[in-house]
Structure 1
Amino acid sequence: MPRANRHYIPGCVWQITHRCHKQEFLLKFDKDRKRWRHWLYEAKKRYGLCVLDYIITSNHVHLLVMDTGEHVIPKSLQLIAGRTAQEYNIRKKRKGAFWEDRYHATAVQTDKHLAKCLVYIDLNMVRAGVVQHPSEYTISGYNEIQTPSKRYSIVNQKALNDLFAVKEDHIFRQLHREWVEQELLNNVSSRQSFWSEAVAVGSENYIQNIQKELVGRIPGRSIVSESESSILKEPTTPYSTLFDTQKGILRPKNTYFLSINH
């Protein structure tokens, strides 16, 4: 599989998708999903990772985060993915890759598109036919938002409140429930692949601004419209990003920088 595309856009909200190697069901057991969540909690404690939503499926994870500082996201993903894989391989006496070599990160505009992204993540297992309602799938951001725990909380409720301009937690929870229930009334069976494959998702102006700010354009990048959103797409080709941490696998000339003012 080609390596996933990633960019660094300071201050953005990111929808991160990370798949198990060859899409194997390496996270099919509850204890392994709980270990991934444990290390997500550790990333929050150690690096200040700002988590807005997440879900852990049998062969991939979705993680919605807000960029709060240089290298916070790559350090966090390195910790989570590395420790989860290490523990699994030791327990199973297994060798070889656990994850696809790179996670994919999609920038999401912080308006109605962010609400749509939240709901898309929450309904992942509904679309898969595993549950009929997201509340039935326990290891998820949906349940943490709706029934917050006093200990070991991962989702940054204050950040969600601020992004959606609400003052009280219960107001956001009500909005969140309404978004999900409304989508459940619609057709939730179709997968919207752009949330896991696009460079960015948002309004036409948002996408155009991102495209204008790109330094060193890659041939084939295009703006398309889908599901009342504009999407910035490009061919899946290997190149570096500031999301890589101290490895320098690819040369700096292959890194693309964006600077978006919010």
Structure 2
Amino acid sequence: MARQPRLALAGHPHHLIQRGNNDQAVVVDTADRQMLLDTLGEQAQRTGVALHAYVILEDHFHVLATPPTAEALSLWMQAVGRHYVRHFNDRHGRRGTLWEGRYRGTVLQAERYFLPCMAYIDLHPVRAGLVEQARDYAWSSHGHYAGLRTDRFLTPHALYWALGNTPFAREAAYAEMVHVGPTRAEQLILTEATRKGWAAGEAAFVQQLQADTTRRLAVGRAGRKPKDPSLPGG
């Protein structure tokens, strides 16, 4: 069965995951992590993609971003792949592919899933047992939104600005939201939608988007039950 084209809709936030081939490491040390982060940010600016959030783990990374055009996401990720893989291969004396294949992603209904997705991304290092709290992990956007540092490539979404009238209020509200975390139902939806390439949103949102594209945006009635994000591969 032919694969569906990637889901990419201008002006909507998208959650993307790019994994290493056969679960191999895509970063080895701090220099690799910084290079990958810089490449994500620089190429986002070049392609006009608004990068809202990220987490870089050993064998994959997550990003939350809004493209100005349907083509911009693919152009962004292709550019990241070209620039970063060249660096990684040269630095570590290797050749060949680094990525599992094409990235996976979902478009989000912003008002319903944007902030839960940010928390979902921030909490990956906690779920993986790397740190006890999201604030303890250096290679995610949590530190920026919690007021611990400034990431120059990030573009805060309007929903983050709406968390408070002052920087302190927004940072405190966001830190508390991450502390509470997304609900189990939200985790299941975000995990399955990203794996399968479906839209993550309420029925009316999906129906509205479906009117503008021939690509199927939701699983049919015969779809399988969403996989538990606590299982391997989440």
Contact 1:5 1:104 in 2 (8 A): no
Give the aligned length: 224
Gaps of 5+ in 2: 227-234
Instruction: Specify which structure has the higher proportion of strand.
Output: 1
Higher relative contact order (CA 8 A, sep 6+): 1
Partner of 1:173: 171
| Map of 2:127 onto structure 1 | 127
Taking structure 2 as the reference length, the TM-score comes to 0.80
Shift of the 222–185 alpha-carbon distance from structure 1 to 2, 3 Å rule, reads: closer
- Alignment partner of 1:141 is 2:166: no
Stretch of structure 1 that moved more, 32-41 or 44-53: 44-53
Q: Considering only aligned residues, what root-mean-square deviation do their CA atoms show, in Å?
A: 3.4
In the alignment, the residues of structure 2 paired with residue 40 and residue 191 of structure 1 have an alpha-carbon distance, to the nearest angstrom, of 26
2:118 counterpart residue number:
118
TM-score, with length taken from structure 1: 0.72
Alpha carbons of structure 1 residues 225 and 211: separation in structure 2 relative to 1, 3 Å: farther
Shift of the 191–25 alpha-carbon distance from structure 1 to 2, 3 Å rule, reads farther
Alignment partners' CA distance in 2, 1:61 and 1:188: 20
Name the residue aligned to 2:53. Answer: 53
TM superposition shift of 1:42: 1.1
Q: Determine if contact 2:19/2:103 at 8 Å carries over to the other structure.
A: yes
Unaligned runs of 5+ in 1: 228-262
Q: Distance in 2 between matches of 1:213 and 1:190?
A: 26
Return the alpha-carbon distance in structure 2 between the equivalents of residues 125 and 24 of structure 1. 17
Give the equivalent residue in structure 2 for 1:251.
none
3-state secondary structure, aligned to 2:208? helix
Contact 1:117 1:195 in 2 (8 A): no
CA 1:12–1:37: 2 relative to 1, 3 Å? same
Cα distance between partner residues in 1 of 2:3 and 2:119: 27
Tell me, in whole angstroms, the C-alpha distance in 2 between the residues paired with 1:218 and 1:179. Answer: 28
Q: Which residue matches 1:241?
A: none
What percent of counterpart residues are identical?
Answer: 21
Structure with bigger helix share is 2
Is the counterpart of residue 93 in structure 1 residue 85 in structure 2?
A: no
Aligned equivalent of 1:194, options 178, 192, 195: 192
SS at match of 1:106: strand
Instruction: Output the CA distance in 2 between the equivalents of 1:215 and 1:89.
Output: 39
The verdict on how the C-alpha distance between 1:175 and 1:223 changes in structure 2, with shifts beyond 3 A counting, is: farther
Give, in whole Å, the separation in 2 of the partners of 1:96 and 1:71: 26
Matches within 5 A, 1:39-50: 39-50=39-50
